[in-house]
Chains A and B, each alone.
Chain A
């Protein structure tokens, strides 16, 4: 039954792809695309740096112009975390037994390093509009800190409920800020705060706020994936 269902899904997807590629109306003909007529030029235009207010052009595109896409990306990550949680069980009570004790230096040194890692990750998240980096790498570093503690301490169990609450709150706030843009300005996720001087910490309007939320959401999602992999059900 499962295999049949999978086959139907697979074939349906194939049909959809063929239909989409066969569509001659919405796709320009091969070789006839006018590359000078793309939005990329407008994004990279120097005037737009002052329009968005972000010193980092990648951040300006990812959050400023393509905020809606980013919301989708974060949702993809959320769904994959949910998939991992489904694949394993929900009733996680016991820490997975790693059989081998971590050595002393790793166990005690990782606590020192964890502090540095968290500060670095928060620095990267909050400076996403000024330096390379931003929400996604910062969130990944938070999660790697959690992974380090899991590997370094065989008794450690992170507060996974806190992570879930954090993830939910961050996701909801992202959407709420988008809706505020719809109300206060004209469209979803539009910037409604003055963008300030380029290069200052408090600049670029809603970009830093959204990037902080993305960072917290990504970090807590990946941390919950790590937790799911390293815990198991209480064997009855």
Chain B
């Protein structure tokens, strides 16, 4: 099962690059089969029967939220760039995450980097260390709501 998903993912990338003709499908299958044997020990995705549902959730819920946040982030950047008078009090805060899988943590950290005013620096154990332009809210819970709130729940549905 693990081999099969890796194979399909690699073949998909190859066919997107090369186009769908009979020759390419044959060559792509050979290439992907060889790469699957070589790569499977480095890639560890947990794949089960709920996978299509998760993929659907990922595409339909996560991606629109992500793009919306990305656009907001850019307007935020624009505001800061065009009027540098806005006071900044930057700081590094730690945010607790409940996600267990590595891929989930990776996606959450990447999403945090692309949302307004935040930049994830490192993930250690269950904390994500985030650089924020503006440290808001003195107690921990409020900060977490500001930074990882919108993504945490969605990604829990996708990856856990």
Q: Within 8 Å by CB, do A and B touch in the complex? A: yes
Within 8 Å of chain A (Cβ to Cβ): is B86? no
Within 8 Å of chain A (Cβ to Cβ): is B65? no
Select the residue from A111, A112, A116, A119 with max chain B CB neighbours within 10 A: A119
Consensus secondary structure, chain A interface = helix
- Over the window 11-55 of chain B, the binary record of Cβ atoms lying under 8 Å from chain A Cβ atoms (1 yes, 0 no) is 001100110010110010001100100010011000000000000
Question: Within the complex, which residue of B13, B110, B120 is in contact with A116, where a contact is CB–CB below 8 Å?
Answer: B13
- CB of B55 to closest CB in A, whole Å: 16
Interface residue total, chain A, C-beta cutoff 8 A: 21
Question: Within the complex, which residue of A105, A115, A118, A120 is in contact with B106, where a contact is CB–CB below 8 Å?
Answer: A105
List of B residues within 8 angstroms of A169 by Cβ: none
How far is A109 from B123 in the complex, measured between Cα atoms in Å? Answer: 12
- Inter-subunit contact B35/A122 (CB<8 Å): yes
- Over the window 198-229 of chain A, the binary record of Cβ atoms lying under 8 Å from chain B Cβ atoms (1 yes, 0 no) is 00111000000000000000000000000000
- Inter-subunit contact A123/B18 (CB<8 Å): yes
Pairs across A and B, CB under 8 Å, 21 listed: A103-B123, A104-B109, A105-B109, A105-B122, A108-B103, A108-B105, A108-B106, A109-B106, A111-B43, A114-B42, A115-B9, A115-B43, A116-B13, A118-B39, A119-B32, A120-B13, A122-B31, A126-B31, A127-B18, A201-B21, A202-B23
